[in-house]
């Protein structure tokens, strides 16, 4: 498979499994009759611009870099360990949210210790995405560090790496903006704890 095809597939998969899937859940969601108003999918900048644009861009850019750089010794082992660490970080964020006795309710987290179906789906997706981003970042940086100095491959991936870093820094900024708007401190805490810097199910 060519680097271009891998790049496109990675970005499309991140969009479809993240924002695309949540759009399907959102289209079928109905608030409980008589219940309090809840923040919805489009109330979160990290959901719309983050999940819908920034994370797919970051995934595509990292996948492109990984495909262009030459493989390194112990490549698979290093990537696997990083992916496992990312998955554990993702699980820890979900445990943190579920244990919170006073969260800001939203359409995927309507009450303390209670996810909706969309919330459980996003929890699984978040863990998988944390593993993917953690593995990709470490794998790309490891390949970059072990490749020949001033090689053509190194020069080719610099713009993509810069784009991936910028996209995820912008995503963190959106998480912070959502935090200020909702006064939900756990959202930013979870975003910083994860190597993928992914949003919670509300986002």
> Is 95 a residue whose pLDDT tops 50?
yes
- Give the up-direction half-sphere exposure of residue 71: CA atoms within 13 A in the CB hemisphere: 6
Task: Report which of residues 179 and 161 the model is more confident about.
Answer: 161
Give tens-digit pLDDT for 100-155.
998 888 999 988 999 999 999 999 999 999 999 999 999 999 999 998 877 888 99
| The length of the chain, given as a count of residues | 203
What are the CA-CA distances from residue 182 to residues 30, 80, 103, 179, 185 (Å)? Answer: 21, 36, 10, 5, 8
Tokens read off for 168? 């995820």
How confident is the model at residue 5, as a pLDDT?
Answer: 95
How confident is the model at residue 181, as a pLDDT?
Answer: 79
Residues 6+ apart with CB under 8 A from 199: 44, 46, 47, 50, 51, 126, 171, 175, 178, 187, 191
What are the CA-CA distances from residue 203 to residues 9, 108, 137, 146, 156 (Å)? Answer: 23, 9, 23, 37, 33
Tokens read off for 32? 């409980």
Sign of the dihedral through C-alpha 148, 156, 67, 86: positive
Give tens-digit pLDDT for 13-71.
999 999 999 999 999 887 665 566 788 999 999 999 999 999 999 999 999 999 999 99
Count the Cβ atoms, other than its own, within 10 Å of residue 21: 16
> Is 180 a residue whose pLDDT tops 70?
yes
CB 112 within 8 A of CB 102: yes
How confident is the model at residue 199, as a pLDDT?
Answer: 43
């Amino acid at each position: 498979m060519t680097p271009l095809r891998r790049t496109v597939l990675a970005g499309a998969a991140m969009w479809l499994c993240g924002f695309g899937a949540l759009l399907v859940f959102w289209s079928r969601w109905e608030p409980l009759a008589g219940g309090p108003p809840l923040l919805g999918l489009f109330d979160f900048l990290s959901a719309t611009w983050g999940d819908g644009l920034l994370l797919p861009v970051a995934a595509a850019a990292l996948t492109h870099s990984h495909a262009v750089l030459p493989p390194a010794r112990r490549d698979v082992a290093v990537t696997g360990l990083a992916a496992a660490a990312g998955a554990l970080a993702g699980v820890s964020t979900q445990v943190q949210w579920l244990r919170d006795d006073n969260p800001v309710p939203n359409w995927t987290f309507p009450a303390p210790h209670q996810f909706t179906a969309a919330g459980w789906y996003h929890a699984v997706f978040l863990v998988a995405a944390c593993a993917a981003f953690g593995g990709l970042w470490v794998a790309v940086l490891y390949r970059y560090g072990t490749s020949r100095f001033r090689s053509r491959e190194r020069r080719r991936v610099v713009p993509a790496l810069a784009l991936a870093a910028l996209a995820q820094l912008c995503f963190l900024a959106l998480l912070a903006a959502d935090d200020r708007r909702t006064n939900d401190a756990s959202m930013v805490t979870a975003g910083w704890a994860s190597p993928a810097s992914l949003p919670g199910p509300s986002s």
